[in-house]
Chain A
Amino acid sequence: MGDAAVTIRTRKFMTNRLLYRRQMIVDVYHPGKATVAKTEIRERLGTMYKTTPDVIFCFGFKTQFGGGKTTGFALIYDTLDYAKKYEPKYRLARHGLYEVKKPSRKQRKERKNRQKKVRGTAKTKVGAGKK
């Protein structure tokens, strides 16, 4: 849905060679519409910078008071491997490239209660003894 009304402009473009990426500030103008979804912004940026949208990571989109303009950040990595190496895990999880494994809530609480009985460095050993 590339509506003509939605305009995307980029500001403060910088090539970060140390982290193998290009980073920029994205301004989205969408008068009369709700805030644009990140997936659509990624596709638009992919066409603008001639890359696939899967190496583009967008975050921090904030709409100004009154609507019509949204500002956020975007990072375009050289390859997906570098992206997996340098992006924080929560942003990879948003794209489905990473899964946070944590035990179920009940088990976490049980472990916590078992830890309460022990003092000091022995707390770390308590978790191993799951009965």
Chain B
Amino acid sequence: MHASLDVSSDDLSKVSSLFKGISNQVSAVTDFIQSILKKVENGESKTSKGISFLDVKYQLLLSYVIDLTHLMLMKSEGKKLEGDKTIERLVETRTVLEKMRPVDMKIRYQVDKLIKTATSGEIAPNDPRRFKPNPDNLVSKLQQEDSEEEGDDEDDAEEKGPQKYVPPKVSAMHFDGDLTVQEKKDRLIEKAKRRALSSSLIRELRDQYNEEPEEIAERGTAPTRRFHEAAKHQQEFEEGNFIRLPVTRKQKNLKRKGETMTGLEELTKFDNISALVDDSKGEERDTPAKKKSKVSSRLRRSNKKKQTKRRKKFHKS
């Protein structure tokens, strides 16, 4: 990198004008800074309560400018810049400044407001951007307004004082909204896996290869187990409350199922263990549980009626 010595007269004039401008500005800046310094030394303007972030920013900018001038000085004297520590300092300062930029943007609003209040010296009362919340705004001004406006008609209806709170008639539903579609799918798959792990097939496999001692326990079929649990629960309730509960048709049927040998179907039914099988087509085959078709209640009732009619006819014949 050698400076070319073929400079034209235009360039020379430009350079000289620029240098003159620099010297003028430098003198102006030094005067200004000296006046500020005098102010601070005299204690006219306090700097203790300034925003420390801005202090850091000023210092960094100042050091940046100083390093730049140092570089320019060295260049103008014709020295080499290679391996100079000034460049490292410059790079460091530059990176820190760039990191500070987003923070600066965030507090820009506050700083602008402060400057505005400092310069103008007053705060507009209608300013909707006041800092503190106003608790008076929480009081409902509707009643007062109504009584003033309507007056003659509808006196009794509105002004009844604090009215009784009527909760909305909405039944509680399970809230699923926090889960994304992917999360729901993952949960379904997890449930299917857990179900598959406890299926009879996997259990037998586990017993076959397990080294623990074999436990033989009476393990009833699912409907009988359910029946026994329900019966136990009902028994405890009845004995605790000294009352006998009425028996619905569903319960009667369940009881019949529990006392007879209805587990024969389970011998031939095997659980679905597709969740454990690592398949690329797993998602396509993943069918949800059998859905109940949405039939209107009237249609359902008429269907039921037809069923009972048919059954009675069958039993008569």
Q: How far is the CA of A25 from the CA of B243 in the complex (A)?
A: 11
Question: When the two chains form their complex, are residues B239 and A12 in contact, meaning their CB atoms are under 8 A apart?
Answer: yes
B217-241 vs A, CB cutoff 8 Å, 1 = contact: the mask equals 0000000000000000000001100
From A11, A23, A62, give the contact of B244 (CB < 8 A): A62
User: Which residues from A are CB-within-8-Å of B242?
Assistant: 23, 73
User: Which residues from B are CB-within-8-Å of A12?
Assistant: 239
Question: When the two chains form their complex, are residues A65 and B244 in contact, meaning their CB atoms are under 8 A apart?
Answer: no
Q: How far is the CA of A59 from the CA of B244 in the complex (A)?
A: 9
Q: How far is the CA of A59 from the CA of B239 in the complex (A)?
A: 12
Smallest Cβ distance from B76 to chain A, in angstroms?
A: 106
Say which size band chain A's interface belongs to: 10 to 19
Q: Closest B-chain residue to A74, C-beta based?
A: B242
A58-79 vs B, CB cutoff 8 Å, 1 = contact: the mask equals 0110100100000101000000
Q: Closest B-chain residue to A61, C-beta based?
A: B244
B231-264 vs A, CB cutoff 8 Å, 1 = contact: the mask equals 0000000110011100000000000000100000
User: Which residues from B are CB-within-8-Å of A60?
Assistant: 238, 243-244
User: Which residues from A are CB-within-8-Å of B238?
Assistant: 60
Q: How far is the CA of A105 from the CA of B259 in the complex (A)?
A: 41
Smallest Cβ distance from A88 to chain B, in angstroms?
A: 11
User: Which residues from B are CB-within-8-Å of A59?
Assistant: 244
Q: How far is the CA of A125 from the CA of B143 in the complex (A)?
A: 45
Enumerate A49-106 residues with CB–CB distance to B below 8 Å. 59-60, 62, 65, 71, 73
Smallest Cβ distance from B184 to chain A, in angstroms?
A: 44
Q: Closest A-chain residue to B238, C-beta based?
A: A60
Q: How far is the CA of A23 from the CA of B244 in the complex (A)?
A: 15
User: Which residues from A are CB-within-8-Å of B259?
Assistant: 65
Question: When the two chains form their complex, are residues A25 and B239 in contact, meaning their CB atoms are under 8 A apart?
Answer: yes
Q: How far is the CA of A71 from the CA of B244 in the complex (A)?
A: 11
User: Which residues from A are CB-within-8-Å of B243?
Assistant: 60
Q: Closest B-chain residue to A71, C-beta based?
A: B239
User: Which residues from A are CB-within-8-Å of B244?
Assistant: 59-60, 62
A93-127 vs B, CB cutoff 8 Å, 1 = contact: the mask equals 00000000000000000000000000000000000
A binding-site residues for B, Cβ under 8 Å: 11-12, 23, 25, 59-60, 62, 65, 71, 73
Can you list 12 A-B contacts (CB < 8 A)?
Answer: A11-B239, A12-B239, A23-B242, A25-B239, A59-B244, A60-B238, A60-B243, A60-B244, A62-B244, A65-B259, A71-B239, A73-B242
Given contacts A60-B238, A60-B243, 10 further A-B contacts (CB under 8 A): A11-B239, A12-B239, A23-B242, A25-B239, A59-B244, A60-B244, A62-B244, A65-B259, A71-B239, A73-B242
7 nearest A-B residue pairs (beta carbon): A60-B244, A73-B242, A25-B239, A65-B259, A23-B242, A12-B239, A62-B244
